Amino acid sequence: MPRSPGEERIPPRIRRRTALLGGAAAVGAATLAAGCSRTGAEAAPSIPEGAATGTPADGGVLRIARPPASQAETLDPADSLSAYEYLGALYNRLVRMDEDGEAVPDLATEWEPDDEGSTWTFRLRDGVEFHDGTRFTSADAAYTLRRILDPDLASPQATVLSPLLSPEGVHTPEPGVLRVELDAPNFEFPALLSNYHCYVVPDGSGDSIGETGIGTGPFRLEDFSPGGRGRVVAYDGHWEGRPVLDAIEMFAMTDIQARTNALLAGQVDLLSQTNLDFATARVVAASGNATIARSVNAQWYVLPMLTTAEPFTDSRVRRAMKLAYDPVHLLEVALQGTGVVGEDNPVPPDTPYWTDHTLERDPDRARALLSEAGHDGLQVDLYTSTYDPVFTPMALAYRDSVADAGIDVRVRNASADSYYTQVWMQQPLMATYWYTGRPADQLLNQIFRTGSSYNETAWSDPDFDDLLDSARGTADEDRRRRLYQEAQRLVVEEGGAMTPMFADRLVGLSREVLNYRESGFEFDYLNIGLRP
């Protein structure tokens, strides 16, 4: 997830293919010239590298514009339709991920496994109260986990936890201790509890939590309308202390242009779940009322090849598609340099288990592989849409990049409204993205493991699955790292996902906002504030 502003943001593996022209590889400088291009055009207003910091005023109300959501939206964190922006304000988890991708304490202060990694003991924070005044204990933590595992709830996190854990394995030996007995060893288990579906709710609250939002977070619920407006107010009894703000108000706005206009007009202070394209971000950064905060490497863009559909059932074709393109070209065209190359590896650079394994670009080898697979050249459709502003420029850049390998890509535009019901996991080749913030174990198991409901390429490799199982059951951290890295090598070399780049998310916010810090697609609700 994001690192501190000003750090080097192009990892060593940029060496794979071509260098950015004109020294554009130096995107880790304090600012990026928004007008920088291959032609050396005159620099336009720069996009800030980080949000403003300082001592905020006591109190104030932060106004957030968010995309419209389903009328079935809920405050239940375990639900697939949870109201994302509210969760970090209302709840805490047992474990959270820090900006370096490490599991750190939240409601659990410490944890330890037995020698086999099959039983984990969590010691819980004392003196924590829910918004209704009841004391947080291990019964609440146990209820939260058992509920996620309930098949009737169909929580997205159940697909991650249920292969490891059954409700009978969750125990409460005393109010301040939670013991979890796994069905198989897993030395990465605490990191899996950092997912936002794992926010802790009160024991027995399943029938009401979607409306009450009672948690242990820095804000308590005042008003909530599914898919519409809402308001949370500061909770004076929060265990970390009262938040800076008095309240946060949420507004649903139909499209990205309406949200951006509201920000420029000073009607809202922050755009949530809105990744601005480079041109719009440049306009916002140059305005008097608003600016941009970067969330570095916040999401990765993917061109998934469905391995159950021709021609991508053949691993030689998949390898050719990867060898044929230049991710640096895609980075320049689609992101204007506001990111880093992905090298077809979805694990974010410089997170604990990342590897720099790469395939060197080789269009001639790509052409030869296609010939071996029975293709005298190859013609494929690549689906995109206006759902995300990066999809189409990425697709067009890929098309141009692979032409000299004899690959003819026809870019097809699909409706944004039905893109994730009629294109994603339906068409053999399309554009999509994922948010970073998942620990490597969850990412690799959830998106690439055989049979996972999120396995968008339908790739199945028993050796890959075995590596993940071995890594989970390995106590030695260095050996565990090597196993996860070997699994990544299989993804790069054999898998169906092309990952050209990690993108900085360009977040629009008011110039009055201080201390906006984002990690795992959630910002710091406790310390964000407004200028005095």
Sorted by sequence, the CB contacts under 8 Å of residue 265 that are 6+ apart come out as: 289
Domain 219-295+508-530: what homologous superfamily?
A: Periplasmic binding protein-like II (3.40.190.10)
- Of 532, 512, 508, 506, nearest to 62 by C-alpha is 512
pLDDT at 45: 53
365 pLDDT tier (thresholds 50, 70, 90) = very high
Residue with structure tokens 């969590």? 122
CATH number of 299-505: 3.10.105.10
Q: φ, ψ for residue 46 (rounded to 5)?
A: -85, 155
Q: Using the 8-state DSSP alphabet, how is residue 23 labeled?
A: G
With 0-12 / 13-18 / 19 or more C-beta atoms within 10 angstroms meaning exposed / middle / buried, residue 332 is buried
What the block records as the tokens of 202 is 């009160």
Q: What interhelical angle do 315-323 and 477-494 show, nearest 10? A: 90
pLDDT in tens, 41-67: 334 457 887 789 999 999 999 999 998
Same fold, 76-212 and 299-505: no
Check whether domain 76-212 has CATH 3.90.76.10, yes or no: yes
pLDDT single digits (tens) 413-468: 999 888 999 999 999 999 999 988 888 998 999 999 999 888 999 999 999 999 99
- Model confidence over 272-328: pLDDT tens digits? 888 888 889 999 999 999 999 988 888 999 999 999 999 999 999 999 999 999 999
Q: Can you tell me the distance from the alpha carbon of 411 to that of 398, in angstroms, rounded to the nearest whole number? A: 10
What is the separation of C-alpha 337 from the centre of its chain, rounded to a whole number of angstroms? 19
Please confirm whether the linkage preceding 311 is cis (ω < 30° from 0): yes
- The yes-or-no verdict on residue 172 having pLDDT over 90 is yes
Residue ranges covered by each domain of the chain:
76-212, 219-295+508-530, 299-505
CA separation for the pair 294, 436 (Å, rounded): 14
pLDDT for res 521: 61
